[in-house]
Structure 1
Amino acid sequence: MADSTEGDTDVQYLGLLVLALIALIAGLVIYPFIIGVNVTDWWKGRSVTPVDHIVTSLGLSRMCIQCNNILYFFIYPLLWRNRDSLVITLIGLSCDFFSSVNMWLTSLFSIVLCLKISNFHTRLFLYLRGVIVHRTVYLIGASILLSAVYSLITLLLTVTKNSSGGTYNTTMANAMTNCIDSDYAYHFTIGVSSPLLAYSISSVLLFSSLYHHTIKMKMSSNSSINLETYYSVMKFVSITFIYNTVYFICYICCILHYYVYCVNPAWLYIVLDFLTVLHSFYLIYKTAKLRSQMSKVLQNVTDFLFQRKDTEIRENIEAVDL
């Protein structure tokens, strides 16, 4: 029975590793493309909007998350008996850091969109629009700094816990008492709820603003007004809100599962990887510049493949004639 159980575990791990590699390959195609397009525009002196800065930073953080996760898949089987090892701790902290950066940048992305698109005219809203939209680069740096502070506090809590004699126990009987800690719970709640609250408020405000604006335009006497653009933006906000909500829920489940059972749920991290890949692909689809460049890349690849195929056919025909 032990051999059968061990074999099933190996098969499950191999399956998860294959899925992780598929997500990694997809991510290494999409994320560098997003980064490359915006960096090329900046290098050539073309206009780069605040949204472009955030999307580029999002692509970089998500690429780092996937590389970190695939590293964990290869390292963890070698060091699973020593979960307090420095390597496992650093990988876990880097995963928390990049995940926090991703969440803060996603929230910042929603806030900037809300300020740029919404038609509120209050003094506070106009002031925030002038301050935030024109200082996006500094806010990206602030998001990274907040995530670094969050990870540093996690490291200090871990060091304090280990130095006081708290060690991880692999038995399920003691998992509840050894892995979960009230300090971790408070720290985790604050670290996750802050970007989630900011994102939720900005998304609801943006959607409500667009919704009320479309209602007013429908009631107006001008029937030639095209509302497709507004509907498209509302759809984009809704899908992004659903993605971000699911991502937050999965991330919370990952952390709670680890603190309760002392085991990282690998399949949930793979789900997070696929979620970020799908959302990044959706960003490419909804962004005109990225969509245009992607079409050019696909067209060049198609032309190259067909040209190579035609060359091979022509060479085969010449060989037969000879």
Structure 2
Amino acid sequence: GEYIAHYLEYAAAGIFSIAGLTVQSFIIAMIISDRLKGGLMTAVDQIIFSLGLSRFVFHFLSLWRILYIAFFTTIPKILYIILTIIGNTSAFSNIWLSVLLSVVLTLKISTFHNGIILHLKLIILHRIMHLLAASVLLSLGCASFYFVMVNVIFVKHSENSTSDNISNEGENSANSVVIVWLLVFLVIYFLSTALLIIPLCLHLKRIKSDDNLTCRVDTYIKTITFIIMSFLMCAAYIIFTATNKFDINLSVAGMFIIWNVFPLSHSVFLIYAIAKLRSHFVQIFQQKNKCFFSR
């Protein structure tokens, strides 16, 4: 019974990873399809494509690690280091790219006439590839620094401890560093979200009284909702990862399930929120229904 439950947990984790791969593949395929048809790849499209690619890597590595742990129990050290750094790079990219997407969506709909804002808008929208590359490199740097820092602290405390409490002291110190590191990311994301939401809400208040701007009001509300939902999903992921460092009695498979749920949920929300992706999904869904009922 215990072995069956163990493999059922890993099967569930695998299903969530496969679901994530499917959703990210859809996003990537739709962006590429539009580009091949001669469509213009906007700044938003480029960020969504990068987000989908980053999350695809994350889900793929999760599935690979789930299968490896389920059947082989341990992972060779060098492989573990590579997978951990790539996985963390994908996770950190998810945060930076989500922030960048929120910023670009805000600048795209904003009608602020402030000179600084207009200059910032031009720089960001015309340097999007540089910003994407910078996000990935920053994520790689954060992931590498994070990995080295945690392991150095673990080794340092292990060397200064007696044989009875080596593991506990080293692990507790490393966990403390992880929690602080993740909370720094949460604070950065919160501040960036607040800096986007506050001016949008103030501007929305000004234009709401104009009856001719109903369409613009609706766009503002949708963008604000998207930014808030993106922050809440990312914050939930960061908080879970941080609290997971305490003893919450979750199995490895259980952790993989929850880790995959957050990027999967946000990507599903992304398909719903972005008109282009939503229309593609509706078309595919209708075609599948026609094929099903025509049999």
Short-chain TM bin: 0.7 to 0.9
TM-score, normalised relative to structure 2: 0.83
Q: Secondary structure at the match of 2:40?
A: coil
Query: How far is 1:142 from its partner?
Result: 0.9
Is the 1:54–1:109 contact (alpha carbons within 8 Å) kept by the matching residues of 2?
yes
Aligned AA for 1:239? M
Query: How far is 1:107 from its partner?
Result: 1.7
Q: Which residue of 2 aligns with 1:281?
A: 268
Q: Give 1:135's match in structure 2, choosing from 104, 109, 127.
A: 127
Q: How does 1:193-272 map to 2 (within 5 A)?
A: 193=183, 195-218=185-208, 220=209, 222-226=210-214, 227-254=217-244, 256-257=245-246, 265-272=252-259
Provide the rounded CA distance (Å) in 1 between the counterparts of 2:218 and 2:50: 29
Q: Which residue of 1 aligns with 2:290?
A: 303
* Counterpart check, 1:291 vs 2:278: yes
Q: Which residue of 2 aligns with 1:153?
A: 145
Is the 1:107–1:195 contact (alpha carbons within 8 Å) kept by the matching residues of 2?
no
Q: Which residue of 1 aligns with 2:40?
A: 47
**Offset from partner CA, 1:33-76 (integer Å, 9 cap, x none):** 11111112223331111111111111111111111112111222
Which structure 2 residue ranges, 5 or more long, are not aligned? none
Higher-Rg structure is 1
Is the 1:114–1:203 contact (alpha carbons within 8 Å) kept by the matching residues of 2?
no
Q: Secondary structure at the match of 2:39?
A: coil
| Higher RCO (C-alpha 8 Å, min separation 6) | 2
Is the 2:16–2:257 contact (alpha carbons within 8 Å) kept by the matching residues of 1?
yes
- Identical positions, percent: 26
Q: How well do the aligned residues superpose, as a CA RMSD in angstroms? A: 3.3
* Counterpart check, 1:69 vs 2:56: no
Provide the rounded CA distance (Å) in 2 between the counterparts of 1:233 and 1:161: 42
Q: Secondary structure at the match of 2:38?
A: coil
Query: How far is 1:189 from its partner?
Result: 3.6
Name the stretch that deviates more: 121-130 or 69-78.
121-130
**Offset from partner CA, 1:250-296 (integer Å, 9 cap, x none):** 23234x34xx89x9744233112112112111111111111111111
Provide the rounded CA distance (Å) in 1 between the counterparts of 2:116 and 2:142: 29
Q: Secondary structure at the match of 1:30?
A: helix
Query: How far is 1:237 from its partner?
Result: 2.2
Going from structure 1 to structure 2, the CA distance change for 1:276 and 1:105 (only over 3 Å counts) comes to: same
Q: Which residue of 2 aligns with 1:19?
A: 12
Q: Secondary structure at the match of 1:208?
A: helix
Q: Which residue of 2 aligns with 1:3?
A: none
Going from structure 1 to structure 2, the CA distance change for 1:194 and 1:51 (only over 3 Å counts) comes to: farther
Provide the rounded CA distance (Å) in 1 between the counterparts of 2:25 and 2:109: 28
Provide the rounded CA distance (Å) in 2 between the counterparts of 1:146 and 1:120: 30
Which structure 1 residue ranges, 5 or more long, are not aligned? 1-6, 310-322
Aligned residue pairs total: 290
Q: Which residue of 1 aligns with 2:94?
A: 102
Is the 2:154–2:170 contact (alpha carbons within 8 Å) kept by the matching residues of 1?
no
Aligned AA for 1:37? M
Is the 1:35–1:56 contact (alpha carbons within 8 Å) kept by the matching residues of 2?
yes
Going from structure 1 to structure 2, the CA distance change for 1:185 and 1:147 (only over 3 Å counts) comes to: farther
